[in-house]
Structures are given as C-alpha cells and as structure tokens.
Amino acid sequence: MEYYVYKINIQPDILELYERTNELMYLITEVIPNSLEAVLEVTKLDKFFKFVANDTLEFDFDEEFKQLETDTAVLIDEYNKIVRAYNETGESIIRKLF
C-alpha cells in the first residue's frame, strides 16, 4: 500500500478566521474537499481523503481562463466608468451590469 501526503498552503488570515469562529474542522472536512471536487475525484476514507486526478472530468482550462479574462475585462471597464463618473460628478451610480 502506498501513501502520499500533500501540504495545502492556506493563508494565515483564512486559518485564523476559521479558528476564531470555531469552524476549523468545517474548513478541513467540508470547504477544502468540496473545492477540490471541482478538479479531482474525492473519496473520504475514514479520517483521510483520497484525491484522484480523473481524466474523464471535462474541464478545459484554456477555455475557462479565456472566459475569466473576458469577464475581468468587462468588470475593469465598468469599474473605470464608475470612477470616471464619480470624478466628474461626485456621485456614485452603479449599474446592474457591474
């Protein structure tokens, strides 16, 4: 039997937030595995989780990244319009599209 151990780097402020709200176990047993299920096959084995990279998962990183770039460009454009309008009028009007 083989075992692989992986370290997941989580920002200290995230750990402190879950620890401060007494939800550290929720982070470990729910949030992290559920997030990883988007790209891996996750199986719970007693106290451990088994993560398997499954080639049958349909995930096109390039397509998703291009969509992210497109969506980000739209948000940046809308943000700049809001800032320009604020600088001109002193009022902030946020459209639904933003």
Q: For residue 52, how far is the Cα from the chain centroid?
A: 19
* Model pLDDT, residue 32: 85
Cα-Cα-Cα-Cα dihedral sign, residues 44, 23, 9, 5: negative
* Model pLDDT, residue 10: 86
* Model pLDDT, residue 71: 93
* Model pLDDT, residue 33: 80
Residue the block writes with tokens 């084995």: 45
* Model pLDDT, residue 36: 79
Q: Which two tokens stand for residue 60?
A: 């096109």
pLDDT means per 10 residues, the chain with 98 residues, are: 69 90 88 81 78 66 87 91 89 69
Confidence (pTM): 0.41
In the DSSP assignment, the letter for residue 37 is: T
- H/E segment holding residue 5: none
- 43-68: b or e for each residue (b if 16 or more CB lie within 10 Å)? eeeeeeeebeeeeeeeeeeeeeeeee
